[in-house]
């Protein structure tokens, strides 16, 4: 490869943090969340100091935990989650403290059951995962505070409830969150990612770019854009209350859904453009230069769509002008590129002109039929009441390790042993690879945070100074929690060390910080030992299953694309979404496998090649759909679509069942314009063959 080609590839390689799945997202910082949590926590800590009542510190802790479980979005959803935590958190705290007074065995059994039940809440999704973690930590921390007196238990429960209600009051009334803010931010992130994809496409039109460049570009952008779209979809549907019909939406809701639909179309067009350009669609001579200019215009339109989404009442004129310039430039482009670029300009004009009916009519919201409350509550539990369930095994592992760490801490009289148990609970993730990453992040953040707490304790000595420090620490902790987990723990550690010192005078920060750092390291080792020894899964098998699903769904996408090119938007949009999500799951499985079975390099290389072939197959299918077909092509297209779907399904079955895979697919019908599909399916068979059975 030439020097220019190597430079293009190097710019598209994922960063070291991305390769190791370590999240670092500066754009996710939220000052408003930090200020709200700091106000809730610091105000109650101040009351505890002024009234000289250390027990009030529990109200401050519960207020901080309440802010942690706040999901954002519409107030009706936030109120439901915050109310649930207020009741469940208070109950867990009182139960754990009460059972702790009965001795080691009853308290350990209680922790085992509570940790199992709380960890199993993950079956309800990402928001429930956060709630389950905080409830489990609540049990771990409060079980270290035995209370046998009913009056003391009642007072303790009252303090916990007051802390939850105070934070909820601040969040829902005094310091409110705009119901559409999270969805707009997520949609803006989608358009920024799409713009970055267009810019990188422009760079890759360089004649020096080779197949490796195109594969790296697809790997770097497609998965990230699909994840961003799905997160925006979740938040947008949450904001509109799951309503998919335009008549029941407000104008703001309709704009959100229209922007989401437009993002899907822009993404499809960029995927198709990538496929066409990879096959030399830019032509020679001045062609690549004109194509680069066109792609930079696309990036400009996408940036302006980002600004329109972020501003509730933004000026649409700049977007209209940019969209019209793009439409004019598309008219001068080669036919294959014009057909893929014109829809992008049209979507941008629809958004700028508030032509919501046109966009929503293409199926923006795919909510499906509403499920009953009973099905929403019981369905996920029923589906996971089996030992084969990843979540069931994870819940059991967390419960056993948490109870074991608690018994160990109590038996050896470790000071502040609940910090060790908390570390065990928070490090353990359903997947071993994620647990490795979380262990490093937690230990690094905990040790550095302990050092920061010791330093602050040496510099500041008065209670008023320490009380003032609680506000910026709580603010930084909550502001950076979505940026990076180590940053979150870095500020969380001194925050709780200072709260403990304020409410228990005489205990010095350097000593507390050193104990916390030691317990964090011990807890990290115990958590990883539990992940390795207690019911670990086989990432190699999961990789094959995920790859098989991606192959089958992308083959199905090709079948749908060729059965009705350019006609019905609904089926192709649904198939494209399913294929994109399946490809993302396969890519995540590949990343996890790189950490868990790194020595099986031939399998990992084969998985990389198969995933690249799957992405090219999807790009070719979407490009063929957008280009449409004539009546004369209909018969050939349908036959090729059926053949592609069946060949992909056969390869998927071989991977799932462990059967040997032939060196090539079955004979294809007359391909016509769909000839590239034969190339991609053949490449897919060749790449996936080392992963299939040996016969």
Do 551 and 483 share a structural domain? no
Structure tokens at 218: 């697809």
Do 37 and 63 share a structural domain? yes
Assess whether pLDDT exceeds 80 at residue 501: no
Domain finish residue from 307, 342, 360 = 360
Whether the CB-CB separation of 392 and 120 falls below 8 Å is answered with yes
Assess whether pLDDT exceeds 50 at residue 12: no
Quick check: is 21 in a domain?
Answer: no
If we measure between CA atoms, which residue out of 290, 294, 271 comes closest to residue 199? Answer: 294
Alpha-carbon distance 223 to 235, whole Å?
18
Do 151 and 78 share a structural domain? yes
Quick check: is 380 in a domain?
Answer: no
Per-residue model confidence as pLDDT tens digits over 99-151: 999 999 999 999 999 999 999 999 998 778 889 999 999 999 999 999 989 99
What backbone phi and psi angles, to 5 degrees, belong to 668? -95, 155
Domain finish residue from 533, 560, 584 = 533
Question: Which pLDDT score is estimated for 391?
Answer: 93
Per-residue model confidence as pLDDT tens digits over 61-96: 999 999 999 987 778 888 999 999 999 999 999 999
Domain with 292 in it:
180-360
If we measure between CA atoms, which residue out of 644, 521, 496 comes closest to residue 579? Answer: 644
pTM assigned to the model: 0.83
Structure tokens at 528: 């990883």
Structure tokens at 443: 């230990």
Do 488 and 347 share a structural domain? no
Task: State the DSSP H helix or E strand holding residue 268, giving kind and residue range, or none if neither.
Answer: helix 251-278
Quick check: is 480 in a domain?
Answer: yes
Domain finish residue from 480, 499, 533 = 533
Per-residue model confidence as pLDDT tens digits over 296-346: 999 999 999 988 887 766 678 888 888 888 888 888 777 778 778 888 888
How does DSSP classify residue 74? S
Do 605 and 589 share a structural domain? yes
Report CA dihedral (422, 426, 430, 431) to the nearest 10 degrees: -120
If we measure between CA atoms, which residue out of 428, 436, 423 comes closest to residue 591? Answer: 436
Quick check: is 370 in a domain?
Answer: no
Residue ranges of alpha helices (H) inside 13-125 are 16-19, 31-50, 57-69, 75-100, 104-119
Do 412 and 495 share a structural domain? yes
Do 552 and 468 share a structural domain? no
Structure tokens at 314: 């933004």
Which of the residue ranges 189-203, 249-263, 372-386, 429-443 would you say has the lowest mean pLDDT?
249-263
Do 482 and 425 share a structural domain? yes
Do 249 and 144 share a structural domain? no
Residue ranges of alpha helices (H) inside 170-210 are 181-204
- Split at pLDDT 50, 70, 90, the class of 5 is very low
Do 430 and 551 share a structural domain? no
Alpha-carbon distance 93 to 409, whole Å?
19
Quick check: is 379 in a domain?
Answer: no
Mean pLDDT, rounded, of the chain: 84
Residue 254 belongs to domain with CATH number: 1.20.58
Do 185 and 259 share a structural domain? yes
Do 246 and 132 share a structural domain? no
User: Could you tell me the CA-to-CA distances from 601 to 10, 269, 579, 657 in Å, in that order?
Assistant: 21, 34, 26, 22
Question: Which pLDDT score is estimated for 13?
Answer: 42
Per-residue model confidence as pLDDT tens digits over 165-220: 999 999 888 776 777 778 888 899 999 999 999 998 888 776 666 666 777 777 77
Quick check: is 18 in a domain?
Answer: no
Quick check: is 402 in a domain?
Answer: yes
How many separate domains does the chain show? 3
Per-residue model confidence as pLDDT tens digits over 340-375: 888 888 888 877 776 554 544 444 444 455 567 778
Alpha-carbon distance 108 to 91, whole Å?
17
- Split at pLDDT 50, 70, 90, the class of 566 is low
3-state SS string for 438-506: HHHHHHHHHHHHHHHHHHHHHHCCCHHHHHHHHHHHHHHHHHCCCCCHHHHHHHHHHHHHHHHHHHCCC
Quick check: is 163 in a domain?
Answer: yes
């Amino acid at each position: 490869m030439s020097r220019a080609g190597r430079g293009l590839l190097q710019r598209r390689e994922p960063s070291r943090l991305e390769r190791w799945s370590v999240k670092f997202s500066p754009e996710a910082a939220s000052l408003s969340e930090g200020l709200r949590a700091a106000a809730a926590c610091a105000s109650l800590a101040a009351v505890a100091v002024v009234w000289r009542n250390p027990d009030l510190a529990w109200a401050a802790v519960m207020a901080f935990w309440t802010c942690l479980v706040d999901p954002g979005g519409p107030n009706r959803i936030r109120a439901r989650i915050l109310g649930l935590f207020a009741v469940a958190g208070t109950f867990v705290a009182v139960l754990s403290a009460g059972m702790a007074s009965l001795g080691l065995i009853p308290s350990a059994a209680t922790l085992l059951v509570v940790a199992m039940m709380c960890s199993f809440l993950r079956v309800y999704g990402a928001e429930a995962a956060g709630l389950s973690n905080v409830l489990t930590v609540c049990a771990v921390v409060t079980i270290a505070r035995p209370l046998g007196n009913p009056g003391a238990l009642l007072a303790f429960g009252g303090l916990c409830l007051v802390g939850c209600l105070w934070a909820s009051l601040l969040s829902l009334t005094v310091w409110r969150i705009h119901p559409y803010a999270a969805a707009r931010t997520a949609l803006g992130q989608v358009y920024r990612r799409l713009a970055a994809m267009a810019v990188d496409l422009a760079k890759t039109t360089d004649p020096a770019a080779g197949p490796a460049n195109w594969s790296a570009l697809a790997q770097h952008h497609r998965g990230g854009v699909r994840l961003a779209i799905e997160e925006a979809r979740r938040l947008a549907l949450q904001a509109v209350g799951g309503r998919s019909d335009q008549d029941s939406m407000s104008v703001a809701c309709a704009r959100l859904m229209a922007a989401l639909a437009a993002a899907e179309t822009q993404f499809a067009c960029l995927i198709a453009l990538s496929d066409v350009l990879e096959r030399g669609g830019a032509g020679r001579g001045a062609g690549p230069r004109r194509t680069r200019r066109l792609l930079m215009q696309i990036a400009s339109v996408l940036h302006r769509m980002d600004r329109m989404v972020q501003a509730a009442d933004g000026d649409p004129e700049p977007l209209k002008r940019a969209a019209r310039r793009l439409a004019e430039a598309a008219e001068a482009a080669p036919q294959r590129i014009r057909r893929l670029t014109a829809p992008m300009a049209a979507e941008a004009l629809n958004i700028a002109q508030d032509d919501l009916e046109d966009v929503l009519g293409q199926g923006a919201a795919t909510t499906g039929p509403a499920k009953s409350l009973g099905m929403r509550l019981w369905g996920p539990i029923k589906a996971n009441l089996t030992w084969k369930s990843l979540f069931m095994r994870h819940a059991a592992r967390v419960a056993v390790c948490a109870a074991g760490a608690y018994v160990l801490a109590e038996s050896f009289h470790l000071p502040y042993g609940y910090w060790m148990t908390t570390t065990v609970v928070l490090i353990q993730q359903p997947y071993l690879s994620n647990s490795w990453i979380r262990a490093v992040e937690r230990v690094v953040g905990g040790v550095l945070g302990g050092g920061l707490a010791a330093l602050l304790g040496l510099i500041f000595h008065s209670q008023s100074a320490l009380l003032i420090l609680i506000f910026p620490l709580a603010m930084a902790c909550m502001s950076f929690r979505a940026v990076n987990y180590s940053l979150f723990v870095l500020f969380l550690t001194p925050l709780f060390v200072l709260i403990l010192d304020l409410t228990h005078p005489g205990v010095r920060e350097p000593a507390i910080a050193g104990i916390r750092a030691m317990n964090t390291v011990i807890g990290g080792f115990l958590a990883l030992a539990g992940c390795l020894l207690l019911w670990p899964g086989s990432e190699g098998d999961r990789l094959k299953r995920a790859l098989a699903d991606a192959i089958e769904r992308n083959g199905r996408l090709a079948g749908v694309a060729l059965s009705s090119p350019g006609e019905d938007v609904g089926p192709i949009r649904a198939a494209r979404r399913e294929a994109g999500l399946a490809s993302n799951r396969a890519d995540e499985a590949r990343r996890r496998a790189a950490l868990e079975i790194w020595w099986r390099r031939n399998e990992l290389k084969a998985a990389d090649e198969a995933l690249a072939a799957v992405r090219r197959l999807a790009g070719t299918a979407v490009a063929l759909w957008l280009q449409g077909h004539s009546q004369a092509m209909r018969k050939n297209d349908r036959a090729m679509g059926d053949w592609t779907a069946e060949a992909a399904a056969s390869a998927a079955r071989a991977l799932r069942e462990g059967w040997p895979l032939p060196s090539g697919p079955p004979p294809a019908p007359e391909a016509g314009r769909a000839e590239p599909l034969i190339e991609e399916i053949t490449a897919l068979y060749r790449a996936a063959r080392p992963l299939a059975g040996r016969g």
